Amino acid sequence: MALYKAYIHMKRTEKTGESGRNRVATRELRTVMQPGTEWEMPNIFDYLNYQGFIKDYYEARKLKNSFFSYRFMGRLLGMDPGFLVKVLQGKTQLPERAIPAVAQLCKLGEREAEYFEALVQYGRAKTREDIKSHFERLIALRGMESQPLDPSQYDYYRKWYNGAIRALLTFWDFRGDFAALAGRIHPPISEQEARESVTLLESLGIIRKGSTGRYEVLGPPITTGEKWHSAAIGNYQQESIELALQSLIQDPKNLRDISTLTVGIRFSDLEEIKARIKELRQSLMHMMADSGDPDCVYQINFQVFPLTAVNQAAGLPEPAQLDGYAGDAAPGEDPA
């Protein structure tokens, strides 16, 4: 599977024109791509995006059989190849009638086929309730495998205050007084919620009770990375945005900075904007790590979203994957 993933990376490198180390890696990979090499097909349980699975399946088949094309694949699926490409680009959804054909083409077993169907339904879901329902179905199905999607990560992001308590315990001397812990959280939570959060963080190996009785945090700050996509993260981000609204109403201006910026942009510049926000996030994390002992916990959100219809001709990207950072804010004048 590692070699297969390296091949996929090589193909994407060729398309994006990456250079330097990637070119060296590409040349090295080509030296081991001898005829007759056995390649593993992608594992459906590694995916939370059905388009990604189908695309990687296509790349694997293309590698084994050079004649394999979107036209040929479309014929096997009873689908126009142009329509198939639009499905893989995220511009339209796979029709339900094609789900069994894809499962048969990819030789999915019963459980795998059920997971693929759930993936399609998850991708088609529009409302928050439907997204959450289908995602939990994916968790249940994937939990049957030897490398499940860890439900504990889902639990961590179900409540905003889990992250707040984890951050607080990096510097606050907590020894089991849950009422005091609940009182330190803003907006306030109940003593029971504080107790349940600590129990969860202990069970996940994020904190532990030391020999002196003080709870200590294990490891670096929690992040989902750049590829995580889940209803839990969406719920966490929504709660974080709601917390910002509460802060705008309740907290004095000297304790917060809530700023906005409304601008016209070229759609092609969106990826550059995202990259700069990512750099800002990372620079802030480095600054906080070097600034000395903390004495309070803050939430920093970033948000970028369209206020007008996006030009379809500009080429819409595949649906963005949530990365676990709570929202996205922009610079400007504080409205309050």
244-287 residue pLDDT tens: 999 999 999 999 999 999 989 888 889 889 888 888 887 787 78
CA distance 80 to 77: 9
Is residue 231 packed enough to be buried (19+ CB in 10 Å), middle (13-18) or exposed (0-12)?
buried
CA distance 327 to 237: 5
What is the pLDDT, as a whole number, of residue 253? 93
Main-chain phi, psi angles of 208, to 5 degrees? -150, 160
What is the pLDDT, as a whole number, of residue 162? 92
Tell me the three state secondary structure of residue 204: coil
| Residues forming a β-bridge with 217 | 207
Please answer whether residues 301 and 326 qualify as being in contact, where contact means their C-beta atoms are separated by less than 8 angstroms: yes
| DSSP 8-state class, residue 299 | -
242 has pLDDT over 80: yes
State CA 125 to chain mean position distance: 17
Q: What is the pLDDT of residues 98-143, one digit of tens each?
A: 999 999 999 999 989 999 999 999 888 888 778 877 877 887 777 5
CA nearest 160: which of 237, 245, 244?
A: 237
Note if the bond before 187 is cis, omega within 30 degrees.
yes
Percentage of the residues of the chain whose pLDDT score is greater than 90 = 33
Tell me the three state secondary structure of residue 215: strand
What is the pLDDT, as a whole number, of residue 169? 95
Q: What is each CA distance from 262 to 136, 231, 259, 306, in whole angstroms?
A: 36, 28, 10, 10
What is the pLDDT, as a whole number, of residue 113? 92
CA distance 57 to 119: 15
State CA 36 to chain mean position distance: 36
Q: What is the pLDDT of residues 181-218, one digit of tens each?
A: 999 999 999 999 999 999 999 988 889 999 999 999 98
CA nearest 83: which of 47, 112, 115, 54?
A: 54
Q: Where in the chain do CATH 1.10.10 domains reside?
A: 154-217
**Cβ neighbours for 115, distance < 8 A, ≥ 6 positions apart:** 44, 45, 138, 141, 142
Is residue 276 packed enough to be buried (19+ CB in 10 Å), middle (13-18) or exposed (0-12)?
exposed
33 has pLDDT over 50: no
User: Taking residues 152-166, what's their average pLDDT?
Assistant: 82
CATH 1.10.10, applies to 154-217: yes
What is the pLDDT, as a whole number, of residue 332? 34
Please answer whether residues 115 and 145 qualify as being in contact, where contact means their C-beta atoms are separated by less than 8 angstroms: no
29 has pLDDT over 90: no
CA distance 319 to 321: 6
User: Taking residues 155-168, what's their average pLDDT?
Assistant: 89
Is residue 10 packed enough to be buried (19+ CB in 10 Å), middle (13-18) or exposed (0-12)?
buried
Long-range contacts of residues 28-34, Cβ cutoff 8 Å, at least 24 apart? 32/3, 33/7
What is the pLDDT, as a whole number, of residue 268? 86
What is the pLDDT, as a whole number, of residue 148? 33
User: Taking residues 282-302, what's their average pLDDT?
Assistant: 84
